[in-house]
Structure 1
Amino acid sequence: MTMTPKQDEEIKSIAVIGNYLPRQCGIATFTSDLVEGLSSLSPNIDCWTVAMNDTFKGYPYPEKVRFEINQNILADYGVASQFLNISEVDIVCIQHEFGIFGGAAGSHLLKLLGDLHMPVVTTLHTVLKDPAPEYRDVMCKLSDLSDKLVVMSHKAKGFLEDIYGVPREKIAFIHHGIPDMPFIDSSFNKDKFEVEGKKVLLTFGLLSPSKGIETALQALPAVLKKHPDVVYIILGRTHPHVLKSDGEAYRIMLQQMVHKLGINRHVIFQNSFTALRELGEFLGIADLYISPYPEEAQITSGTLAYAMGTGKAIISTPYWYAVEMLADGRGKIVPFKDPNALAEQINTLLDNDGQRHAMRKKAYTFTREAVWKEVSKRYLEVFKEVRQNRIRHPRPRYSYIKNVEAITRFDLPEIKLDHLKAMTDDTGLFQHANHTIPDRAHGYCTDDNARALLTAVLGQKYLPANGFGLDALAGHYLGFLLYAFDEKKGRFRNFMDYSRQWVKETGSEDSHGRSLWCLGKAVAYLENPSHMAVSTVLFKKALGVAEHFFAPRAVAFTLIGLDAYLGKFCGDSNARRIRDILADRLFVQFKDHGTTDWPWPEDGLNYANAKLPQALILSGKKMQRSDMVDMGLVSLKWLLAIQTHDHHFAPIGSNGWYQKGEKRTRFDQQPIEAKAMVDACVDAYNITRDRQWFEHSVMSFNWFLGHNDLNMPLYDPRTGGCRDGLMVDGINQNQGAESTLAWLLSLLNLQKLYADEILNQPPLFQSPDIK
């Protein structure tokens, strides 16, 4: 007999999911403090953590961390939900920030939540005012799957109600937790830091361009004219993700600014991630705390809360959280990026001790309810409330990706870029490899660098923000394409030797078409404005000659690039005109040459075959040509049947290909064929929503993982690369550029397909009156 829990049963086990110390970020600090705070409320409460990792190795966590999730591996989320269910946890509390979870807009988290048995309380560290569609969808589904959403500002509460349609009763306001620190005179410890007799300004937190430190530095000369005894301490290491992508570029820029302004003796860069005790001492010596964020979209700030909690006089820009927290005389607000206004306010407060101390007292008094002891009690109250509500009103479990799991029955490998980076030098991506070693004898290939650009651009959507240097890699490959383009001929050169000499002055139509395909897709996904501008201009310049292409693959590659480009710039009339010409040309080739038994525009099948029907399907959909879409689907279905053997993908071999009326060649099987079929089936599914195409895309992808004629995987999990082909007697062990890019782009496409499946499903529990 199933026992119903008693309604007065105490909560005994709490699992908090988020980043955790010693990982260095604000959410890691928050999660660690919350877990410790909840644990301290009662010896009967077992509060522990599921930690999110942004590196494969993870971190040297304390015992409070009992499970770890690699944020980019979808399988980890499913295993985590099983672990939590088996552990009989009473409440799961999520620390939510989009960037710490994998998938588009952090959608991997939805898998975990959909499989949990217990109530879920989600703390929102970010609430977007103008969300992109995928972020809005994830937030709505996150609300569906959470019993309560916790926000740390009333502004965030309004956003949830007005923008996302979350019912008011589902939202709880709880202050950002802060340590309970004494209210002390700023002079008490100044001698310890060798700033005795100085007036100290302080900004702390992980350093990144989003902090606005340059505004404070620009204000300092005007402050020093009136107060030459001022010292400005900038406390904090560079954010780890910024460090990985850009190194210390921002810190160096700030240091150069200090030198240029002639204020070296008045600025101290304290490059460290400080423990709580040391942080308290730094805050204790500050006379003024400066919070100069450059944009308003900051819904919470742990650094500001900490400064208020130590009774600091604060000057801030008007970001959302600061405006709310510093109201009623608890601080001063100055305009964004206005050094003059900031300097004036600093001088005013330094000149007026009475006003400054009154402000300090108001801030300190206001934040007494935000100390961790009080915040932890409030969280426990919310946990008890949602648990009792779940007991009284049970709700069904629901997984937004159950349909994906039912079809795929496997989880995608982690995206690993080690081999791609190893194959890249200061010129570009090498064309071939000897096993895993770049083969310099064959130099570089333009269409490989084009595909590498697309890989780097798509990777930025599915890998940790700034974690892999993909923005820099994208710029590197884009630079190669710029150099490869011949302005006079309007064509790309294709092969370059190791001495950086072009082997041929003009590349083939196919290589030009591949470059257009990748540039068009890059334009559709790029977020870096400089890269977007350069890619768009280059695409438009290179497009002109394609109007005169007749080779079916060159036409198909160009059409796929045009489809993506027009998804971004649908009003480009010249691009639409060329798209219509090329799509009709390819359609006529199919129509005039194909038969019922051989629905194909040529007498043979060779390489990248699936790109041809894919181009028809995409173009026909945008042009509202059902005959073109039908032709593409028929030919793709025929092509797939030819290349399916015993329920696995068996691409046509390159040693002879397949000529009409002759026997098809089985080997060597090339990764480019599996990649082309994955892409075509994904697009066929997206347009028709026929689940068979979903299954076919997964079957084609599984060829890389060993579901093939030899039952041997081509993907190398050690390097993240892909072997060059399946031969009759085994695997070609070389991991060249084309093979590795075929693997990475296929994996990214499947990642996107999984994410889209989650996002395309309507919210189950959401209130119907979303505004």
Structure 2
Amino acid sequence: MSTYPPRECGIATFTQDLFRSSQKIKKSGLKYKVAAFNLSPLDTFTYPREVKWEIDQNNKQDYINLARTMNKDKSIVGIILQHEYGIFGGSEGENILYFLRECKKPILVTLHTTLPAPSPKMKEVTIEIIKLASNIVVLTKRSKEIITKVYPKSRSKISVIPHGIHPIPFALQDESKDKLELSNHIVLSTFGLLSRGKGIEYAIKALLPIIKVYPSLIYLILGETHPVIRRNEGEKYRLELARLITKMNLKKHVRFYDQYLSLPDLQEFLQATDIYISTSINPNQAVSGTLSYALGTGRAVISTEFAQAKEIVIPTIGRIVPIKDSAAMTLAIMDLLSDTQRLHKMDRNAYEMTRPMQWNNVALEYTHLLIRTVVPPLNIRHLRSMTDEMGLFQFALYSLPNKDLGYTLDDNARALIVCSWLIEHTGKSNVQSLLTTYLAFIKKCQKEDGSFINYIGYGDKAPTYQNKQEDLEETQSRAMWALSEVINNHVLPPRQKKEAQKIFLKGLTNVLHLTHLRAQAHAIKSFTLVMNQFPSHKAIIKKCIKKYADSLLSSLKEHSIKDWIWFESSLKYNNALLSESLLLAGESMKNT
């Protein structure tokens, strides 16, 4: 879902490139169709055959109807939505929410704009997009940092997949310069749909000192005016640039190519380029497809310091200059032109660095993420069949419970955690009865002194002999973790949370002196969840977190050698728990 060619739009081009590359991945078994957004009912296009649906971006009912159509279509397993605030109708593109709210299919959303300080309305819209999306993609690491900081609930959903580039053989400039009648010229270029945000005037103002030293220099401004800009103000910006060029007596050194270039034509111009100039004046621009394409062609670049450029343009492939600083751009261009051998090496570095960004690799990353996104609906039928009015059975014979072996607190605690998570994070209220059963089981397993037994038989529903034969430290701490998940759940009924609190407080003294590593780790997980829920016990809980974290660190130091950095002399079971608990302890103690 996106804008799509022949509509002239950077997102449209991106989507077509992603579509074509994704279609070539035969082993995925996926086929793709496109839902294209139109600016208005009058702005329609003769789309290629992959476009199955068209949407008037300002018509809310179009979004709802499309969602309902997709819900009914069993062949549609998932959706990739390219998001940019300006391509959807309504304030800050809020119309897309009508689709997202109505659609029942898994949705992967690519956020092309990521602002560190969004307007209140933009933030409101984005919060809901993130909530309704199954997965989020951003195009740079910096974008991920911004989104996770501004929208913390995106952390579990977000992935970074770079802007794609087209596969093209590396070539020196001479052949393309001959074809374009640019031989004997030093060629600078900028391409893209023209608009005021491009900042091209600052590049033009940088040229005068340079042509005195390099009189053969020519600057190519490639691309027509953005259709939306042209509709609103015509060619006003281009004419302003033309007057500036005349005023500075640069007509021989600056050329406009006022057309929407085909990919082969664009690649020809880029291959003829000595230095590509990326001129954005928006410091928060998340990504520039034009910059990616220039680097992918194997060309050194000079870019203003917007988000993507600061991440990708390193000294071995180009230079970064302050925004709107023509003097700095002059110095950067002069620097690169002063050493031809170094400049050619930068070209080669840029080419080699960008090979992972080729569209076939990008499409493969999207495919893998989409496959992970398109998971079947959660089925708890087996969990229900393994549970009776007492609790969750310990073992099964194929799909049937093995009742002879009874129940364990360990398994019921795990099931309680799962149900709590499902209710809080997915809104699945149909597991509420299961949660009630598992919580009651934990209560039944608690003895008068607050400690827990683990094994209960099926026939008499009484404790078994195994409780006296085994060390139950981990059982104690796992039960406390499960109770903490319920206590910390923001959507459960107060009566259930209070019940969990009573059981927890009664059992607290029994988990303050644990000796086994995994029991200590479970206790840390439990305590970090509820430390602030019990003000009168906070000091002792905090002290215990530190004691157990120190114990884990001591074990890590004791068993670690040069080629083995771990808590024990071998990998055993539930290994990730040990590292996770230390991270949680550090975060809770502000000791990261």
* Structure 2 partner of 1:24: 8
Q: Contact 1:119–1:390 (CA<8 Å) still a contact in 2? A: no
In structure 1, stretches of 5+ residues that fail to align are 1-16, 399-771
2:355 is the counterpart of 1:349: no
* Structure 2 partner of 1:565: none
* Structure 2 partner of 1:35: 19
In structure 2, which of residues 32, 37, 61 is the aligned counterpart of residue 52 of structure 1?
37
1:396 offset after TM fit, Å?
A: 6.2
Q: After the TM superposition, which of the residue ranges 47-56 and 205-214 deviates more from structure 2?
A: 47-56
In structure 2, which of residues 240, 246, 249 is the aligned counterpart of residue 259 of structure 1?
246
Q: Deviations over 1:486-530 (max 9, x none)?
A: xxxxxxxxxxxxxxxxxxxxxxxxxxxxxxxxxxxxxxxxxxxxx
1:391 offset after TM fit, Å?
A: 4.7
Runs of 4+ residues deviating >6 angstroms = 392-398
- The aligned runs of 1:41-440 (5 Å cut-off) are 41-42=25-26, 44-57=29-42, 58-88=44-74, 89-327=76-314, 329-388=316-375, 391=378
Matched letter for residue 6 of structure 2:
P
Equivalent residue of 1:269, what SS? strand
Q: Contact 1:115–1:397 (CA<8 Å) still a contact in 2? A: no
Q: Deviations over 1:336-365 (max 9, x none)?
A: 111111111111111211221222222211
Q: Contact 1:187–1:285 (CA<8 Å) still a contact in 2? A: yes
For 1:397 and 1:302, locate their aligned partners in 2 and report how far apart those are by CA, in whole Å: 39
1:42 offset after TM fit, Å?
A: 1.1
In structure 2, stretches of 5+ residues that fail to align are 381-421, 429-592
Equivalent residue of 1:343, what SS? helix
Q: Contact 2:101–2:132 (CA<8 Å) still a contact in 1? A: yes
For 2:113 and 2:56, locate their aligned partners in 1 and report how far apart those are by CA, in whole Å: 21
For 1:345 and 1:187, locate their aligned partners in 2 and report how far apart those are by CA, in whole Å: 23
State the identity as a percent. Answer: 36
Q: Contact 1:101–1:108 (CA<8 Å) still a contact in 2? A: yes
Q: Contact 2:138–2:160 (CA<8 Å) still a contact in 1? A: yes
1:167 offset after TM fit, Å?
A: 3.8
Q: Contact 2:337–2:343 (CA<8 Å) still a contact in 1? A: yes
1:61 offset after TM fit, Å?
A: 0.5
For 1:237 and 1:366, locate their aligned partners in 2 and report how far apart those are by CA, in whole Å: 30
Q: Contact 2:136–2:154 (CA<8 Å) still a contact in 1? A: no
1:383 offset after TM fit, Å?
A: 0.7
For 1:397 and 1:254, locate their aligned partners in 2 and report how far apart those are by CA, in whole Å: 56
| Alignment TM-score, normalising by the size of structure 1 | 0.48
For 1:177 and 1:134, locate their aligned partners in 2 and report how far apart those are by CA, in whole Å: 30
Q: Contact 1:97–1:125 (CA<8 Å) still a contact in 2? A: yes
Q: Contact 1:160–1:166 (CA<8 Å) still a contact in 2? A: no
Distance 1:397 1:118, change over 3 A: farther
For 1:390 and 1:130, locate their aligned partners in 2 and report how far apart those are by CA, in whole Å: 36
Distance 1:78 1:286, change over 3 A: same
Q: Contact 1:117–1:397 (CA<8 Å) still a contact in 2? A: no
What's the Cα RMSD here? 1.7
Equivalent residue of 1:264, what SS? coil
1:390 offset after TM fit, Å?
A: 5.4
Q: Deviations over 1:678-728 (max 9, x none)?
A: xxxxxxxxxxxxxxxxxxxxxxxxxxxxxxxxxxxxxxxxxxxxxxxxxxx
Q: Contact 2:193–2:224 (CA<8 Å) still a contact in 1? A: yes
For 1:389 and 1:374, locate their aligned partners in 2 and report how far apart those are by CA, in whole Å: 26
For 1:141 and 1:112, locate their aligned partners in 2 and report how far apart those are by CA, in whole Å: 12
1:68 offset after TM fit, Å?
A: 0.6
1:330 offset after TM fit, Å?
A: 2.7
Equivalent residue of 1:94, what SS? strand
For 1:166 and 1:284, locate their aligned partners in 2 and report how far apart those are by CA, in whole Å: 43
Matched letter for residue 212 of structure 1:
G
* Structure 2 partner of 1:710: none
Distance 1:365 1:389, change over 3 A: farther
Matched letter for residue 79 of structure 1:
N
1:218 offset after TM fit, Å?
A: 0.4
For 1:299 and 1:361, locate their aligned partners in 2 and report how far apart those are by CA, in whole Å: 25
Distance 1:308 1:219, change over 3 A: same
Equivalent residue of 1:123, what SS? strand
Distance 1:366 1:169, change over 3 A: farther
For 2:379 and 2:152, locate their aligned partners in 1 and report how far apart those are by CA, in whole Å: 24
Q: Deviations over 1:346-388 (max 9, x none)?
A: 1111121122122222221121111110000000110111223
Structure ID, larger Rg = 2
Q: Contact 1:80–1:112 (CA<8 Å) still a contact in 2? A: yes
Matched letter for residue 252 of structure 2:
R
1:389 offset after TM fit, Å?
A: 7.4
Equivalent residue of 1:231, what SS? strand
For 2:246 and 2:338, locate their aligned partners in 1 and report how far apart those are by CA, in whole Å: 27
Equivalent residue of 1:332, what SS? strand
For 2:379 and 2:102, locate their aligned partners in 1 and report how far apart those are by CA, in whole Å: 20
Q: Contact 1:184–1:284 (CA<8 Å) still a contact in 2? A: yes
For 1:331 and 1:390, locate their aligned partners in 2 and report how far apart those are by CA, in whole Å: 48
Q: Contact 2:82–2:109 (CA<8 Å) still a contact in 1? A: yes
1:179 offset after TM fit, Å?
A: 0.8
Equivalent residue of 2:277, what SS? strand
- The aligned runs of 1:462-501 (5 Å cut-off) are none
* Structure 2 partner of 1:499: none
Distance 1:352 1:389, change over 3 A: farther
For 1:327 and 1:314, locate their aligned partners in 2 and report how far apart those are by CA, in whole Å: 10
